[in-house]
Amino acid sequence: MLAGMNFASSTHRGVGALLIWLGPSLVAAAGLAQTTEFRLGEDRQWERTASPDEQELPLEQRVLVDTRRLLAEDLPGEAFELIDPFIENEEAPYPAELLPEALLLRGDALLAGGREFRALYDYERVARDFPRSPQFAIAIEREFDIAQQYLGGLRRRFFGLRLIDAESTAIELLIRAQERLPGSRLAERANITMADYYYDQRRLDLAGQAYEVYLANHPRGEHRTHARQRLIYTSLARFKGPRYDTSVLIDAEIQAERFNAEFPLEAERAGLDEGLLIRIDDSRAAQLLDTAEWYLSREDEPSARYVLYRLLNEYPASVAGAGGRRLMEARGWTLETIAPAGVRDLGAAAPVDEAAPGDVTIEGQLEDDVEVIGGEGTAP
C-alpha cells in the first residue's frame, strides 16, 4: 500500500557520479548544452536552431531545458537518462532551488515510459519536501492522474508484468490530494472520484460516507446535485427489508425532502419527488406490520395492539395499513379498542382511510428500478 512506502530516492550509482564530474564536456560533446529554438525555413518547414542566449545558462538549468525538450519530443527514455545522474549525484547535489523541477521532470519521464509507480516516488518527494514550490500542485495532480488509471483497472508491475491490484494505492493518493489541497478543485475531483468508485463497486457504506464528506467540504461544488442524489440512492439501497433497521429510510426521506425542495425539476426527473416519499412511508409501514405480527406470534397482544394503532394512524393509506386492518378484523379489534388508554379518554382516535388500490411498497418499486446487489441491498 502506498501509505506504507518510503518515498526516498534510489541509491547512489558510481557511474552517475562519474558522469557528473565529466558532465560539462560530455554534454557539450553530445550537443545537449545547447537549447533549441525553431524558425520557419525556406521550404516553409520548422527548423531547430540553437539559442545563443541560453547557451550561457548554468549546466543544471540547461539539463532541465533539454529534459523538457526530450519529453516534448516523446523521448522519455532519453529524458530520464539525461536528468537521473544529476539528481542522484551525492557528491555534487543538485541545487535546492532547481531540485523540485528536476524531480518533477524525472517523474514525468518515468510516467511517460510506463513506470508510473516509480514516478510516484519523485512526485511524493516534491509534495512532501517542497510544499512551497510551484511544482507542488503539479505533482499532486500527477498523482491524481495515476490514481484514476489505477481505479480504471491499470495494475502495478511485478517483474515486468502488470499483476498487482493497485486499488489501495489509488485510494491513498485520492485521500492525500484532499488533505494537501483542501478546498481546491483538485480536492473536489478527488473526493467525487473516490465516492463514485465506491458506488460503482457497490460498496454502499463507503460510498455514502464519501458523498457526505463531499457535501460537507464542497457545499457549493459543481457535483453537489450529483452527490446528493447518489446519497439518497445509497440510503435506499442499504435498506434490506421490513425486518431490518429502517434508520437508513429515515435518512433517505430527509435527504429526499431537502433535495425536492432545492431542486424540484431535477428531483422529478430522477424520481426523487413525492412518489418516492410515499414509497418510503410504505416500507416503514411494512416494518410496523411485521413487528405487530411478531408480537402476535409471541402471544403479546398488548404490544401488537399498540403497534397496529401506530400503523393505522401514521400510515392509514399504505398497503401495510390494509393488512393491519385485516389483522384487526380477524380478532374483532377496532381502532377505538386498541387505542392507548389516554387516547381513548380524549376521544382522539384518528380516522382510518382506505388504502389506495394502486399503492405499492418501496421494495416492489425498487425491484423495477434497481438491480439487486449480492446481499448488500440494492442500488440504482
Report residue 130's pLDDT band, with 50, 70 and 90 as the boundaries.
very high
Q: How far apart are CA 370 and CA 81, in angstroms?
A: 53
Average pLDDT score over residue span 190-208: 94
**Residue 360, pLDDT above cutoff 80:** no
Instruction: For strands 46-50 and 161-164, give the pairing.
Output: unpaired
**327-359 pLDDT, tens per residue?**
888 888 887 777 776 554 434 444 444 444 344
**67-86 pLDDT, tens per residue?**
999 999 999 999 999 999 99
For the chain, state the CA radius of gyration. 33
Report residue 54's pLDDT band, with 50, 70 and 90 as the boundaries.
low
Task: Please tell me the predicted confidence (pLDDT) of residue 91.
Answer: 84
- How many CB atoms sit inside 10 A of residue 84's CB? 19
Supply 5's cell numbers: 512506502
Cβ-count burial 206-236 (b if 16+ within 10 Å, e if not): bbbbbbeebbeebeebebbebbbbbbbbbbb
Average pLDDT score over residue span 201-215: 93
Average pLDDT score over residue span 23-27: 37
Contact 125, 7 (CB under 8 A): yes
Element (H, E) at 377: strand 377-379
Q: What is the 3-state secondary structure (H, E, C) of 38-107?
A: EEECCCCCEEEEECHHHHCCCHHHHHHHHHHHHHHCCCHHHHHHHHHHHHHCCCCCCCCCCHHHHHHHHH
157: three-class secondary structure by DSSP? strand
Residue type, 224: R
Report residue 45's pLDDT band, with 50, 70 and 90 as the boundaries.
low
**Residue 44, pLDDT above cutoff 80:** no
Average pLDDT score over residue span 234-250: 71
Task: Please tell me the predicted confidence (pLDDT) of residue 178.
Answer: 96
**Residue 365, pLDDT above cutoff 90:** no
More confident residue, 368 or 37: 37
More confident residue, 100 or 5: 100
Task: Please tell me the predicted confidence (pLDDT) of residue 117.
Answer: 96
Pick the range with the lowest mean pLDDT from 108-112, 121-125, 366-370.
366-370
Report residue 109's pLDDT band, with 50, 70 and 90 as the boundaries.
very high
Average pLDDT score over residue span 197-212: 93
**DSSP letter, residue 188:** H
In DSSP terms, 371 is beta-bridged to 379
More confident residue, 369 or 338: 338
**Residue 374, pLDDT above cutoff 80:** no
Specify which of 114-118, 322-326, 360-364 reaches the highest per-range mean pLDDT. 114-118
Cβ-count burial 20-43 (b if 16+ within 10 Å, e if not): beebeeebeeeebbbbeeeeeeee
379: three-class secondary structure by DSSP? strand
Task: Please tell me the predicted confidence (pLDDT) of residue 245.
Answer: 63
Q: What is the mean pLDDT of the chain?
A: 77
For residue 249, which of 84, 377, 62, 80 has the smallest C-alpha distance? 377
**Residue 377, pLDDT above cutoff 60:** no
More confident residue, 293 or 273: 293
What percentage of the chain carries pLDDT values higher than 90? 39
Task: Please tell me the predicted confidence (pLDDT) of residue 267.
Answer: 75
For residue 220, which of 255, 263, 178, 188 has the smallest C-alpha distance? 188
**Residue 222, pLDDT above cutoff 60:** yes
Residue type, 349: A
**135-185 pLDDT, tens per residue?**
999 999 999 999 999 999 999 998 889 999 999 999 999 999 999 999 999
* pTM for the predicted model, two decimal places: 0.65
